[in-house]
């Protein structure tokens, strides 16, 4: 029984990276070009999961020491290319999309990343008129 309690306590202590599971997730990215009359579903990867965050109610000298805010961010990212089918000759069919290779819990760099979830910008599937084709 004591051994079981020890392992449970250890998992709680290490839980920032183990239990909260900031990791790669499969993601379908929908890309459409009205000029080409097509919509493509691209399978890629992204980071998803929760990271350990702590904010203290203590103000003053100790307040900032106990402020730990981390997000599940990409650590390694590459771009792949794909061609949109059916594009006219004067339209470049090539586009690039991100593929995350590694994730980690870290402070969000607001100069490079969107750090706040904004439900107004949730990616949608293809436009209805392109789906009908």
pLDDT in tens, 67-111: 667 888 888 999 999 999 889 999 999 989 999 999 999 887 777
Domain harbouring 54, CATH code: 2.10.90.10
Domain assignment present for 4: no
Is the full-model pTM beyond 0.85? Answer: no
pLDDT at res. 66 = 60
* pLDDT confidence of residue 101: 96
Q: Residue ranges of the alpha helices (H) in the chain?
A: 2-13, 128-131
Using the predicted structure, report yes or no on whether residue 131 has a pLDDT greater than 50: no
In a domain, 2, yes or no: no
Query: What tokens were used for 76?
Result: 């390694």
**DSSP 3-state assignment of 7?**
helix
Mean pLDDT of 118-132: 57
- Domain of residue 98, residue span: 22-131
Instruction: Tell me the average pLDDT of the chain.
Output: 75
**What integer pLDDT is reported at residue 22 of this predicted model?**
92
**Domains identified in the chain, total number:** 1
> In the 8-state DSSP scheme, what is residue 6?
H
Q: If you average pLDDT over residues 12-36, what whole number do you get?
A: 74
Alpha carbon distances (Å) from 91 to 4, 38, 39, 86: 63, 13, 15, 10
What pLDDT, on the 0 to 100 scale, is given for residue 94?
92
Share of the chain above pLDDT 90, in %: 27
Identify the CA nearest to 112 among candidates 70, 73, 81, 69: 73
Answer yes or no: is 79 within a domain: yes
Is residue 113 within 8 A of residue 98, CB to CB? The reply is no
């Amino acid at each position: 029984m004591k051994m079981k309690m020890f392992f449970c306590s250890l998992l709680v202590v290490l839980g920032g990276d183990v239990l909260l599971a900031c990791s790669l997730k499969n993601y379908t990215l929908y890309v459409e070009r009205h000029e080409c009359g097509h919509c493509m579903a691209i399978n890629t990867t992204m980071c998803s999961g929760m990271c350990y965050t702590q904010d203290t109610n203590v103000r003053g000298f100790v307040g900032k020491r106990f402020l730990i805010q981390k997000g599940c961010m990409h650590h390694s990212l590459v771009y792949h290319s794909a061609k949109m089918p059916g594009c006219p000759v004067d339209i470049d069919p090539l586009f690039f999309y991100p593929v995350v290779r590694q994730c980690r819990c870290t402070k969000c760099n607001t100069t490079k990343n969107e750090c706040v979830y904004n439900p107004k910008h949730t990616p949608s599937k293809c436009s209805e008129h392109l789906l009908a084709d």
